[in-house]
Amino acid sequence: MPDSPRFVLVTGLSGAGKSQALHFLEDFGYFCVDNLPAPLMPTLAELLVGANPRRRRIAVCLDARAGEDLSNLPGYLDAVTELGVRPDTLFLDSADEVLVRRYSETRRRHPSSPSGNVEEGIRRERELLEPIRARSDLVLDTSKTSVAELRERIAATFLSAKKSQEMLITVLSFGFKYGVPPEADLVLDVRFLPNPHYDPELQPHTGEEPDVRDFVLENAEAREFMERLKGLLKFLLPRYAAEPKSYLTIAVGCTGGRHRSVTVAHELSVFLRDLKYNARLRHRDVSKPGGDIA
């Protein structure tokens, strides 16, 4: 039985990595079209439905270059859905200062700024794309993401062996000192849990190790927290899946992202897999120096 058709719309800020993402999808077997005229999206999806299995994965890049057609994008996506193909929208973003640096390094002209002022181009582009960002299935911030990390995240999302209709859950640990992940749908603050940073034997280690996890979780307050959290997720997740929501990111934060958040994220990923959810685990800041202080 052939795989269900996949239709991925890649969009986002100029300089955030859209071309790179499209190249990765092409490497993964997607038929890719850059700068597709937006009105052709339903036509392309119609071809996808009847295509042979080798052409049942399509990715298109559509961004601020589309101009006025962007205002009609929700209608085009609805038309794709009516054909029986559920589109996934991947939005790539980056911090303004990162985008400015990337443009200064490449000396390219920003497409939304004919005058050549990069900052003005970024501002205009954000305003134009905000409605698309708000309804995107998955937002990835590439400000601190290497090319290898971006490839891994795209592969994990769009090469899943699961059915395309199944919600993919990412449990992401992070440190508040490095900023809240912009892609987070739910943010959990676990800085109230016992802190291994102040134990000389545990401080050099991470929440990936059993001794640290035991220190964080083997107390009455932590056990009650985990039980309440699991009950909340049991209530919420079926409702997110019924929305339907294709991707959900649960971000778990402590101060440095090495001990408490890693421990809780690990426990949650095990719990979700036991419930038969398509869950993956990622530790954003576990390798950064400084530890889980305060």
Domain chopping of the chain, boundaries: 6-158, 168-283
pLDDT, tens only, 209-250: 999 999 999 999 999 999 999 999 999 999 888 776 778 899
What mean pLDDT is reported for the chain?
Answer: 85
Strands (E), the chain: 6-12, 31-34, 57-61, 87-93, 138-141, 168-175, 186-189, 247-254, 278-283
Please check whether the domain covering 6-158 is classified as CATH 3.40.50.300.
yes
Using a cut of 0.85, tell me whether the model's pTM lies above it: no
Average pLDDT over residues 121-129: 87
Model confidence over 57-83: pLDDT tens digits? 889 998 877 777 788 888 888 898 888
What DSSP string describes 136-157? -SEEEE-TT--HHHHHHHHHHH
User: Within 10 Å of residue 69's Cβ, how many Cβ atoms?
Assistant: 15
β pairing state of 247-254 and 168-175: parallel
Whether pLDDT at 165 is above 60:
no
Does 161 have pLDDT greater than 70?
A: no
Task: Choose among 129, 23, 209: nearest CA to 121.
Answer: 129
Q: Give yes or no for a contact between 148 and 141, defined as CB atoms under 8 angstroms apart.
A: no
Least confident of 91-95, 250-254, 290-294: 290-294
Contact in structure between 150 and 140 (CB atoms under 8 Å): yes
Q: How many residues does the chain have?
A: 294
